[in-house]
């Protein structure tokens, strides 16, 4: 089963899958970074926006916010959540905007969905082209060489008299530019047990490789993965937030 098919089938569960995500803290943290590094403009685009929770917060912050995603059922839910926003079915590796953007975001490690290094570089070119002068691109990422293949994150949620258990983990073989996000979803009720498994192919890079890709297009600032604080990225850290100002 492909990643897109699984997410289409489970689009109604997506917010439950991400129930432990503090969307407000992430959005507010990026807004603070944008206040420090950005051009003061209010046009915002969220790549791989899913059901739109980050877009909702940026709208509430006073931005003219929009989103794009490859999954139409997700976008339908996003439009319900954010009726005043514009959403489009587009690939972040080849998207178009109707006006220059002051801030482009890509949360939840979704930049890794670029798939391979060539696609990632194309995505960065697209972002650079879409940004207004001194616009900001902000995203989070993981370093392939710091991934612990045995570490997983699990949380549970209740939905319509069923208990859902979500487990996800990164996996990197140790070579090449591909890693995986492995996902398992279990649904238990008094009458039924269902389980979905998937492995999402993701582009793999270390942070030096990432900065080398970014530098031709952006001034790059790397921070610890903490949306509550603004801390420089430790050289031993494998989880970072990147603020990229258009050159």
User: The whole model's pTM is what?
Assistant: 0.93
Tell me: the pLDDT tens digits for 90-104? Answer: 999 999 999 999 999
Residues 46, 129: one domain? Answer: yes
> Does residue 150 sit in the same domain as residue 133?
no
Q: How far apart are CA 137 and CA 118, in angstroms?
A: 19
Structure tokens at 84: 């005043």
pLDDT, tens digit (0-9, with 9 covering 90-100), for 1-37: 344 445 545 666 777 777 788 999 999 999 999 999 9
Number of domains in the chain: 2
Same domain, 115 and 28: yes
Confidence of residue 158 (pLDDT cuts 50, 70, 90): confident
Q: Are residues 134 and 234 located together in one domain of the fold?
A: yes
Looking at residue 161, its pLDDT comes to 85
Residue-range definition of the domain harbouring residue 82: 3-143+206-246
- How confident is the model over 41-98, as pLDDT tens digits? 999 999 999 999 999 999 999 999 999 999 999 999 999 999 999 999 999 999 999 9
Q: Are residues 11 and 75 in the same domain?
A: yes
pLDDT for position 11: 66
Q: Assign residue 44 the CATH number of its domain.
A: 3.40.50.150
pLDDT at 1 (0 to 100) = 38
Residues 77 and 111 in one domain: yes
């Amino acid at each position: 089963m492909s990643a897109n098919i699984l997410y289409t089938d489970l689009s109604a569960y997506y917010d439950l899958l991400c129930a432990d995500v503090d969307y407000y803290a992430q959005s507010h943290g990026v807004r603070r970074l944008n206040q420090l590094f950005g051009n003061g403009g209010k046009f915002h685009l969220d790549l791989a926006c899913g059901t739109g929770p980050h877009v909702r917060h940026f709208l509430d912050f006073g931005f003219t916010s929009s989103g794009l995603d490859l999954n139409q059922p997700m976008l339908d839910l996003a439009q319900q959540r954010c009726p005043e926003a514009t959403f489009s079915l587009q690939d972040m590796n080849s998207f178009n905007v109707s006006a220059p953007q002051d801030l482009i975001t890509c949360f939840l490690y979704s930049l890794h969905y670029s798939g391979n290094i060539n696609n990632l570089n194309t995505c960065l070119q697209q972002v650079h082209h879409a940004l207004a002068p001194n616009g900001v691109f902000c995203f989070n990422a993981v370093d392939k060489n710091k991934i612990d293949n045995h570490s997983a994150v699990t949380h549970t949620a209740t939905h319509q008299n069923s208990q859902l258990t979500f487990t996800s983990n990164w996996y990197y073989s140790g070579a090449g530019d591909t890693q995986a996000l492995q996902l398992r979803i279990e649904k238990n009720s008094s009458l039924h047990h269902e389980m979905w498994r998937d492995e999402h192919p993701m582009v793999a890079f270390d942070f030096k490789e990432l900065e080398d890709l970014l530098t031709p297009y952006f001034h790059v600032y790397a921070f610890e993965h903490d949306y509550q604080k603004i801390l420089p990225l430790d050289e031993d850290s494998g989880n970072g937030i990147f603020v990229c100002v258009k050159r």
